[in-house]
Structure 1
Amino acid sequence: MLRNFLYMSLLVLYSTVLCAENHQKIPVDEEFKSAIKYVEKKQFFEAYQIFSSLAELEIPEAQFNLALLYSNGLGTPKNFRLALYWSWQAHLNDHETAIEQVNKTYELINENLRNSVAETTIEELVASAQAGDRAAPLKLGKTYLGLFVEAQNQPAYLWLSISQAYGEERASALLEEAASQMTLEEVLAQQEEAQKSFNDMIKKN
């Protein structure tokens, strides 16, 4: 049974990587192609090294495949925390199937670990947003609503308000989702906090 499970995991890994090669959103460079070849040869450590570097560059295909390596313990020790972290990063960067891997990883961990990954992600994204990254507020809203065990609607509302102010159309529906779970007083308070945070970031950047 274990052998069959591992075999199926490898099939998923291979097919995902090979499909990523033809993904239209991200130009595939020579490094990514090299990682694919390493996977085909079962040289997972070499593939892990390349995917790790590319994942730090916000390439969602690399982030997703790095998550699979962590999930399966290939090229690196099995680590469900990092598997969740990188699959969520891929999801935030619009990888089409990363959310499925996120949901699979939820079944392998406890609530404390899930919240810990969410908190780590939030800390990184807040720093990016404050440094002027206009994509970060939407990612913060998504993370507050979707990665924590219990949705954090008030901070989600704050950051989605900022995202919408930057012109991100996708923020609107999420903003409504957060607002629907808040009292009027909470909405008004977060609007003031959002305005203050927005003004501070504008001044800094």
Structure 2
Amino acid sequence: MLCLRRLVRQVAKKNYEKAKSLLEPLAKRGAVEAQFNLGLMYEVGMGITQNHGKSVYWYQKAARQGFAIAQNSLGLAYLNGEGTLQSYEKAVHWFEKAAQQGYAVAQYNLGSRYAKGQGVPQSHKKATSWFKKSAHQGNASAQNNLGAQYLFGRSVPQSYEKAMYWFEMAAQKGEPTGQYNLGDMYAQGQGVPQSHEQAAYWYKKAAQQGHTPAQNNLGVMYIKGEGVPQSQVIAAKWFILAKMAGNDKAANNLNRVQKTMTATEISKAERLAQLWLIIRR
């Protein structure tokens, strides 16, 4: 207990080297939380040199003791090939270990593998089942994905109302794709009365987080003056930002709108985009 209190104090002081010196002996003696936290420090380079290989080593130690958070982190390492050879099958193995313990993030990750057919045969039924388990625990990403299952009727009866419900749950938690999807529902009047104002509101929420489809759609709304005051300059700002992130639709929209703008307006839009990037940093 005394060592744990000392560790917490060192982390609070951002004395990560000291925290590492406290964690290492505990981890070597088999303390599962110490093993996980040491792995985390190596993964993110928390006050020490980032080392994914050492991160995986300690995650494996904790995961084999049944520590759900470490099992999920080890699954992510295999999924992304960080510190180990990439393997969807091994990622699924560890996600399932953690998911079966009720760990919501792992349930979402496992559902995503079934949805994409990565490491397992594609199964929207199993994907939906895991998304539901995670969503009911409040995981925003799972709530968004569950909304998409209802929107497209994948393994569940198609329902705009249920899609709307889950998108809103995710959006209210700040999940950008959920905010974008909720904006789409309002824009198209699916499961809710059409409202350009609400569509623009949610697109803007997602756009401010760097969601490029939302940035593009928000730009279109500024072009048309739907739900927002008409402004080619603001529209171009959002198109510029989305284009910079590789959104082809935004690049095409920017090319079209710039043909009707003055040089002064184009320059202003570019300055606004640069200012947004500076503030976001």
> If the length of structure 1 is used for normalisation, what is the TM-score?
0.47
Larger CA Rg, structure 1 vs 2: 2
RCO greater where, 1 or 2, for CA within 8 Å and sep 6 or more?
A: 1
